[in-house]
Structure 1
Amino acid sequence: MDNKQLEERLIAERGEEDLKTRVWIESKTIWRIAFPSILSRVTSFGMVVVTQSFLGHIGDVELASYAIIQTIIVRFMYGILIGMSSATETLCGQAFGAGHHHMMGIYLQRSWIVDGITATVLLPLFVFATPILQILGQEEELAVAAGPIALWFIPMIYSFVISMTISMFLQAQLKNLIVGWLSMASFIIHVFLSWMLVNKFKWGVNGAMASMNMSGWIMVVGQLVYVFGGWCPNTWTGFSKAAFFDLLPVVKLSISSGAMICLELWYFSILIIMAGYTKNATVSIASFSICLNIYGWEFMVCLGFLVAASVRVSNELGKGSAKAVKFAIKTILGTSTSIGIVLWTLCMVFRNQIAYMFSDDEQVAETVSSLSIFFALAILVNSVQPVLSGIATGAGLQSTVAYVNLGSYYAIGIPIGILLGYVADLQVKGLWIGLMSGVATQSLILGCFVWKTDWEEQVRNASERLNRWLVKPTADDNQSPLDA
């Protein structure tokens, strides 16, 4: 081997070692963000699933009624709030990357104002749940039973406003491990309280819903103590009058963020409504909601990578590094896809036992089992799609994703679901195939979009946005929360 060949080999080996090092460093950063977020979201959503499990063993009507409220009205509300809260994720992430740390607390307060007003506007949906469901054509028994359950969700609305925005505020500065531990503690408390109130005290539906509310607010109190208690000295400097100014840009970004998430979450709600029109609606809704809730639980894992993608993209855009953005995207997609393959395998192995976690009804279990192949495929696709949405969120491109969701879900997914479910008489299976068609289409379009995005241009856009909304630190920003 001559000197030239030796030199080329050394360069190649050094480059390979550098690549491994870069992947290792990036992976550690991703997991530092993703793991607490996965822990938080899986346990938070787990409280919803645990509540459904306890209600399912009370009776099929209770299970179906809860499923209707949770997947239609709560998902509708949750879609709006989490979508609008993702504006906090974009702004705080880019501000942290640019070193504008004091602005993060101001963005958090602005989000509380905007999201709090939005939550109050949504209250009538829960107060008038029964007539709304009757208008939508749901069975009378289910609509009436769902009314009292809906009222129990009202305290949860405001806990969502505080919890989601603080979580995004903390994860943008890589301090979201506390959120994961608080969420885990709340989940454990919820399981214990549900067992105590439902099984021991025999409080039924009221016991299950009271447990979910108490557990949710325990987490909120813990988050507030962490932020106000001095653990975020650079990013939380007290309440500021600046939070009440420049709300319009936050509202605009929040609306586009809300539209992006809402169009996705409402898509599943519409399919639940459609399941209510199939033969034997109670079994159809119960079966579909079981699949949808497990799908949603797995989606919480993928949302951890959505968060990691959003934070890494927004941080690097704030720093002005397009090359680092592209490397982070490749690493996150590879990690998330690998986990999706593992979860898909587990789903196929245990496909016949899944339903018994939620119901003792043989007919419900049989229907869920018949959906297993399509359900497992949904799990696999789900490992990619949220990451692509997270990339767009980190870049502040929520409005673009909103249009993609509109076309994929409502122009393709729902029509296919209607055709296969009712015209081809495949019932729930047809609806699930329609669901998958929309998700697969959205993933393909977003994949092409991310591939073709000019990240140098996105760096310039992020810099212009941050400079336009920058507020100089003042004495007011150093005010104590108790003195404000």
Structure 2
Amino acid sequence: MGSQSKQFTHTTNQRRSSLIVSNGITKGGIFGTVDYQGPEDTAVEEDLEPLENSEESALRASQDQQANEQQPFLASGTSLTPNGDKNKRASRLDSYGTIGIGSGQTDQESYHRDLLEEERDLLVDNKLISKSRQDEGVTPEQREQQIRDTWEEAIESGKSISTTSRRECQVLLKSALPLVFTFVMQNSLSLASVFTTSRLGINELGGITLGSMTANITGFAAIQGLCTCLDTLCSQAHGAGNQQLVGVLLQRCALITLVFFTPILFVWWFWSETILASLIPERELCRLAANYLKVVAVGVPGFVFFECGKRFLQCQGIFHASTIVLLFCAPFNAIMNYVLVLDKRFGIGYIGAPISVAINYWLMAFGLLFYTVFTKHKANPRKCWGGLIKPNQVFRNWRKMFSLALPGVIMVEAEFLGFELLTIFASHLGTNELGAQSIVSTVASLAYQIPFSISISTSTRVANFIGASLYQNCIVTCKVSLILSFVISLLNMSVIYSFRIQIANAFSSDPEVVSLVISVLPLLAFMQIFDAFNACTAGCLRGQGQQKIGGYINVLAFYCVGIPMSYMLTFHFKQGMAGLWYGITSALVFMSIFQSYAVFSCDWTKIIKAAKSRTSEQDRV
């Protein structure tokens, strides 16, 4: 995705900001699975030597990054080594696949050029380089050298290289805007199902809500968490120039994930209705949800291949492929939902919604395959395919893969489960409340995409400044991010409150459901202030490398504050649906306060030292 398109190469593979977007109807995803990585992550491929003799040395080369103190943001790809050996600069740059100027325009070359411009802009802001651009007759290599020399001279003379609020606002918005579009498209896959089934009746809306919730908790969230190990593994292998290893890792992760989830798919097929009936009082809803799971199970392999394929391309610097696929699949999914669910000639009713979802998961997978095979992109992703994996290689080093992926699975599952408990609570209030909860959750999910995009760009920017030891700039970025979050929350709040009647009527024609939705949307509008604030503070924590602190706050907020309060207000104080959202709002207030404190009360020196320590650990692998 575009989240990394503006990332400085100073950031290591382990510190790179990546994201996982919930495909369900819940808000989800405050702490992305890739952002939660343990200290062992830097050595995850140390046992890959039996695969290829060159793998260990290649991976070691990929981890030789990050210079000391305030180096240019380009440092990790093109920096001086600590002893000043400039001869290693070009070779290290080549190991990251950056093609020489004039040999073709690639994503990596464009990315490299963008980094130079960002460094130059900072130097211009600090009056270290003239604003006039007299670049005629200056080669790109000379231009790069000028920027690097100016930066190093500033450091040697003790000058501080600082950013401005205006600069950070521009960078954050420029990085976040493409993400909003991508997130909304992926989120629309579930939105279309909710929208169409709501037209059939309240039971169908409740069934799609319960089925989607169960699929997310027991399947898709964990699949996303497992597949994110490729963000580190494939990036390391490709960065080291070990291209065939990228293809091996892709196949290994996909096959292990399918093997791991085959028993779960059997549960969806044969026992889902019985299990749901033990938790949900409405047997008809359980039957509809079970039918949803049986059909969606057919699309799970396609979803696995899409998630793995997306990372296979992203590690090669190809971030736009999944967006191109979604540009086709998202509208096609909406059309299929209408035709299969509502159309009088071809419609087959409720079951058409999961059929549309399953088909589109496979179309997304085939779309990435089609792109990979036929693209004329200069990066040429086919070079990373060395053929089908050998049977004896499928489960090699699977423990290393799981040790990297499982922390992410745990974090995603905790988030999904905490939020989806509201759906179970709503089902005990009644069918109308369950349908209304589905609509309100969908609106909350859509509204969250904008601050979440800012959060991702913030985590990237903060991590890069920490990598360059410019912690004062991190403070500026964090403050700007919070200001942007407040502006965005006001926008979301105004839209949700002003159009609450139109939103409710767009999703349902049932008067009772519409009335419930209209009564809860003002509370959801108020919640936007803390939801956006929470998203951006979470991004700051990820950039600082304080994911664990954010994770602890997240779990405490949901399971010690939000969920208990939702239960008490809903069932003991008879607040109904409003009680559910009062509880979640209190959890977001809790998270916002404590995450803000963690962001601005941190020891920046300790954070920078920890980043350098991780780098030294990489060098010892």
What residue number does 2:439 align with? 290
What residue number does 2:411 align with? 260
Q: Relative to 1, partners in 2 of residues 1:255 and 1:428: Cα closer, same or farther, differing over 3 Å?
A: same
Q: How far apart in 2 are the matches of 1:361 and 1:222? A: 38
What residue number does 1:450 align with? 599
Query: Is 43-52 or 169-178 further displaced after alignment?
Result: 169-178
Matches within 5 A, 1:15-26: none
Q: Does 1:463 align with 2:605?
A: no
Aligned residues of 1:418 and 1:431 also touching (Cα < 8 A): yes
Q: Relative to 1, partners in 2 of residues 1:67 and 1:12: Cα closer, same or farther, differing over 3 Å?
A: closer
- Corresponding letter in the other structure for 2:206: A
Aligned residues of 2:333 and 2:356 also touching (Cα < 8 A): yes
Q: Relative to 1, partners in 2 of residues 1:33 and 1:226: Cα closer, same or farther, differing over 3 Å?
A: farther
Match of 1:423 among 572, 584, 588: 572
Q: Does 1:133 align with 2:279?
A: no
Aligned residues of 1:71 and 1:268 also touching (Cα < 8 A): no
Q: Does 1:238 align with 2:390?
A: no
What residue number does 2:509 align with? 360
Q: How far apart in 1 are the matches of 2:263 and 2:226? A: 14
- Corresponding letter in the other structure for 1:69: G
Aligned residues of 2:126 and 2:161 also touching (Cα < 8 A): no
What residue number does 2:357 align with? 212
Q: Relative to 1, partners in 2 of residues 1:12 and 1:356: Cα closer, same or farther, differing over 3 Å?
A: closer
Q: TM-score, normalised by structure 2?
A: 0.64
Aligned residues of 1:63 and 1:286 also touching (Cα < 8 A): yes
Q: Relative to 1, partners in 2 of residues 1:180 and 1:382: Cα closer, same or farther, differing over 3 Å?
A: farther
Shift of 1:358: 1.6
Q: How far apart in 2 are the matches of 1:168 and 1:324? A: 30
Matches within 5 A, 1:309-348: 309-312=458-461, 328-348=477-497
What residue number does 1:439 align with? 588
Q: Does 1:277 align with 2:428?
A: yes
Shift of 1:318: 6.5
Aligned residues of 1:259 and 1:402 also touching (Cα < 8 A): no
Shift of 1:144: 1.4
- Corresponding letter in the other structure for 1:201: F
Q: How far apart in 1 are the matches of 2:446 and 2:369? A: 26
Query: Is 458-467 or 98-107 further displaced after alignment?
Result: 98-107
CA deviation vs aligned residue, 1:297-320 (integer Å, no higher than 9, x gap): 222334333443454455666677
Q: Does 1:49 align with 2:49?
A: no
Shift of 1:57: 0.6
Match of 1:410 among 531, 542, 559: 559
Query: Is 119-128 or 268-277 further displaced after alignment?
Result: 119-128
CA deviation vs aligned residue, 1:428-472 (integer Å, no higher than 9, x gap): 111111111122212322222233154303422442454466xxx
- Corresponding letter in the other structure for 1:214: I
Shift of 1:84: 3.8
Q: Relative to 1, partners in 2 of residues 1:236 and 1:39: Cα closer, same or farther, differing over 3 Å?
A: farther
Q: How far apart in 2 are the matches of 1:114 and 1:310? A: 30
Q: Does 1:197 align with 2:343?
A: no
Matches within 5 A, 1:108-147: 111-112=253-254, 115-127=257-269, 128-147=271-290
Number of aligned positions between the proteins = 454
Consecutive unaligned residues of structure 1, counting only runs of 5 or more, are 1-10, 470-484
Match of 1:351 among 492, 500, 503: 500
Shift of 1:338: 2.5
Q: How far apart in 1 are the matches of 2:486 and 2:472? A: 22
3-state DSSP of counterpart to 1:276: helix
Q: How far apart in 2 are the matches of 1:239 and 1:135? A: 47
3-state DSSP of counterpart to 2:347: coil
Q: How far apart in 1 are the matches of 2:175 and 2:225? A: 19
What residue number does 2:366 align with? 221
Shift of 1:327: 5.3
Shift of 1:173: 6.8
Q: How far apart in 1 are the matches of 2:314 and 2:529? A: 26
Q: How far apart in 2 are the matches of 1:134 and 1:90? A: 40
- Percent identity between the aligned chains? 21
Q: How far apart in 1 are the matches of 2:355 and 2:307? A: 20
Q: How far apart in 1 are the matches of 2:475 and 2:241? A: 24
What residue number does 1:478 align with? none
Aligned residues of 2:125 and 2:163 also touching (Cα < 8 A): no
Matches within 5 A, 1:145-224: 145-167=288-310, 175-198=318-341, 199=343, 200-224=345-369
What residue number does 1:3 align with? none
Q: Relative to 1, partners in 2 of residues 1:20 and 1:68: Cα closer, same or farther, differing over 3 Å?
A: same
Q: Does 1:68 align with 2:210?
A: yes
Q: Relative to 1, partners in 2 of residues 1:172 and 1:376: Cα closer, same or farther, differing over 3 Å?
A: farther
3-state DSSP of counterpart to 2:500: coil
Query: Is 389-398 or 356-365 further displaced after alignment?
Result: 389-398
Aligned residues of 2:541 and 2:550 also touching (Cα < 8 A): yes
Query: Is 419-428 or 244-253 further displaced after alignment?
Result: 244-253
Q: How far apart in 1 are the matches of 2:309 and 2:296? A: 20
What residue number does 2:152 align with? none
Aligned residues of 1:64 and 1:142 also touching (Cα < 8 A): yes
Query: Is 316-325 or 176-185 further displaced after alignment?
Result: 316-325
Match of 2:219 among 77, 89, 94: 77
3-state DSSP of counterpart to 2:428: coil
Q: How far apart in 2 are the matches of 1:73 and 1:401? A: 26
Consecutive unaligned residues of structure 2, counting only runs of 5 or more, are 1-123, 132-159
- Corresponding letter in the other structure for 1:457: K
Aligned residues of 2:163 and 2:476 also touching (Cα < 8 A): no
Q: Relative to 1, partners in 2 of residues 1:121 and 1:324: Cα closer, same or farther, differing over 3 Å?
A: farther
Aligned residues of 2:211 and 2:292 also touching (Cα < 8 A): yes
Aligned residues of 1:256 and 1:399 also touching (Cα < 8 A): no
3-state DSSP of counterpart to 2:339: helix
Q: Relative to 1, partners in 2 of residues 1:47 and 1:161: Cα closer, same or farther, differing over 3 Å?
A: same
